[in-house]
C-alpha cells in the first residue's frame, strides 16, 4: 500500500474519515501520531494525537474527491497525485 493520500487529522475528525473510507470500500491504513501545536496566547507547545490515513495510489483520486465533497480537506497530501497528473497518468 503506498501513500497516495495521507494527512494528519485530529482524532475528532479521524473517526468520520474512517467511516467514509470504509463505506466507500477504499482500503486504508491508519497510523496514530503525536504532534506539537502552538497554544495561544501562552506561547507554548501542546502535544496532540492525530491520525494519518494512507490509501493505495490507485484509490487516492477517488478518496480525494470524496473528502473534498464532504469538506474533509485538512491535511490531504496532493504530492503523489499531482506528479502522476503531470506525467499524464491521472484519471
Q: What is the pLDDT of residues 30-71, one digit of tens each?
A: 998 888 888 888 888 988 888 888 999 899 899 989 988 988
User: How high does pLDDT run on average in the chain?
Assistant: 78
Total Cβ atoms within 10 A of residue 70: 11
d(CA 81, CA 42): 38
CA angle 5, 7, 8 (to 5 degrees): 160
Contact 3, 64 (CB under 8 A): no
Q: Is the pTM of this model over 0.75?
A: no
Amino acid at each position: 500500500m503506498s501513500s497516495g493520500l495521507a494527512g494528519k487529522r485530529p482524532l475528532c475528525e479521524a473517526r468520520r474519515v474512517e467511516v467514509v473510507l470504509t463505506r466507500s470500500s477504499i482500503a486504508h491504513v491508519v497510523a496514530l501520531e503525536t504532534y506539537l501545536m502552538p497554544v495561544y496566547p501562552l506561547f507554548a507547545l501542546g502535544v496532540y494525537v492525530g491520525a494519518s490515513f494512507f490509501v493505495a495510489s490507485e484509490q487516492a483520486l477517488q478518496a480525494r474527491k470524496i473528502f473534498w465533497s464532504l469538506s474533509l480537506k485538512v491535511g490531504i497530501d496532493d504530492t503523489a497525485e499531482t506528479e502522476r497528473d503531470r506525467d499524464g497518468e491521472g484519471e
